[in-house]
Structure 1
Amino acid sequence: MKRIIIVCEGQTEQEFCKDVLQPHFNKKEIYLQSPTIKKSGGGIVPWKTLKGQIENHLKQDKEAFVTTFLDYYGIHDNHAFPEWDACKRIIHRDERMDLLKTSMHLTIDVSISHRFIPYLQLHEFEGLLFNDIKIFEDNFRPDELVNKPELEQTINANPNPELINDTPQNAPSYRLARIINGYNKIVYGSILAESIGLEKIRAKSPRFNNWITKLENL
């Protein structure tokens, strides 16, 4: 059975891997592990630290592939990711992220880097959850769904939910906190993701879909 280690930015991504991705890959006889980044308490750490963790995973399991599940907009100057300044000068977001992924790959020990597949979400994982209004209606009572107009506007205005995040205050998790009374990032994220289903998430989110396809074909 093939093995893939997904290094997750935080618990929200980890729960998604366990609840949604792992059952899917089990059917394909691919075993997933989804550890969170160490020493972060949730969130991204300096590249030097993360690089060490990635290389440790690759060295400890000499047959496993390692990938990342990180939020590009959670990376800051002080994290010192490779070619970060050059990436920031690129206007087109896809090209910017592709350069960063390539640079991450090139800094990994060449003897093991062929088993490393860097992946970055453009924005928060929660953006993927803005997929189907009915899923929210099925999972939350009217008194819990306290800002349905914002939910409808967000979904209707963003056919690709990966692009949701025009200001820090409008990051997907902040929107969900305004839309759902008592929103719990980890618990509700998993509930919504399972209800939507992996295929519907993939259908609306091309960058995410390309990543899953790549992992399926290892």
Structure 2
Amino acid sequence: MFVVYLGEGESFVTTLIDYYGIPDRYNYPGWQASKQIPDRCVRMDFLEQEMLMDIETNLRQRFLPYYQLHEFEGLLFNNIASFEATFEPSEFKDKRELISILNQYHNPELINDNPNTAPSKRLDRLIEGYNKIVYGSILAENIGMHNLRHKSPRFNNWIHKLENI
């Protein structure tokens, strides 16, 4: 599919693939080999490189693969002020736990270990009426690109590459 778009003039193509929970049957390039890499960020770099190498050589300079280690909502665990600007005090089911999570993870990209601790599941549990489709973009806007990039190094690197096209 990427090749179709890359074949159109001088267009660039990127991905934002939520890594966590991808079934083995999808068999992305380098998928099985990546499972031997214990460092999850190094694993993402490896998978991005493998995906890039799976594209025709003459099209690679216009393809920027990116795997989000965990779902997009992980990036939203950035600062309490953004949550306070988005939600009323009564909407917090457990603000102390939210603050604890924010303090525990210097890099919010690393939040998640199983389906019950996925960032969106945590937000569902901590904020009354949380809806990821509605509130994800509002929170991201309140956080701001500078803060998103500052705390999330892989995301920052991807955005940096996009800016330098």
Which TM-score applies when normalising by structure 1?
Answer: 0.73
Deviations 1:97-133 (A, max 9, x none): 1221111111112232221111111111101101111
Structure 1 residue 159: Cα displacement:
0.9
Structure 1 residue 92: Cα displacement:
1.7
Structure 1 residue 152: Cα displacement:
0.7
Q: 1:3-152 alignment to 2 at 5 Å?
A: 53-59=1-7, 61-152=8-99
CA RMSD, Structure 1 to Structure 2 (Å): 1.1
Give, as a single letter, the amino acid of the residue that structure 2 aligns with 1:54.
F
In 1, Cα distance between the equivalents of 2:37 and 2:85?
41
What secondary structure is seen at the aligned counterpart in 1 of 2:15?
strand
Find the partner of 1:182 among 109, 124, 129.
129
Name the structure where strand makes up a greater proportion of residues. 1
Aligned to 1:29: none
Structure 1 residue 166: Cα displacement:
2.1
Is 2:101 the counterpart of 1:158?
no
- Identical-pair percentage: 56
CA distance 1:74–1:166, change in 2 (3 Å): closer
Structure 1 residue 140: Cα displacement:
0.9
In 2, Cα distance between the equivalents of 1:214 and 1:138?
30
User: Which consecutive residues of structure 1, in runs of 5 or more, have no partner in the other structure?
Assistant: 1-52
Give, as a single letter, the amino acid of the residue that structure 2 aligns with 1:200.
N
Aligned to 2:157: 210
Give, as a single letter, the amino acid of the residue that structure 1 aligns with 2:80.
I
Structure 1 residue 94: Cα displacement:
2.2
Which runs of at least 4 in structure 1 moved beyond 4 Å after TM superposition?
A: none
Structure 1 residue 145: Cα displacement:
1.4
User: Which consecutive residues of structure 2, in runs of 5 or more, have no partner in the other structure?
Assistant: none
Aligned to 1:199: 146
Structure 1 residue 84: Cα displacement:
1.0
Give, as a single letter, the amino acid of the residue that structure 2 aligns with 1:170.
T
CA distance 1:94–1:139, change in 2 (3 Å): closer
Give, as a single letter, the amino acid of the residue that structure 1 aligns with 2:91.
E
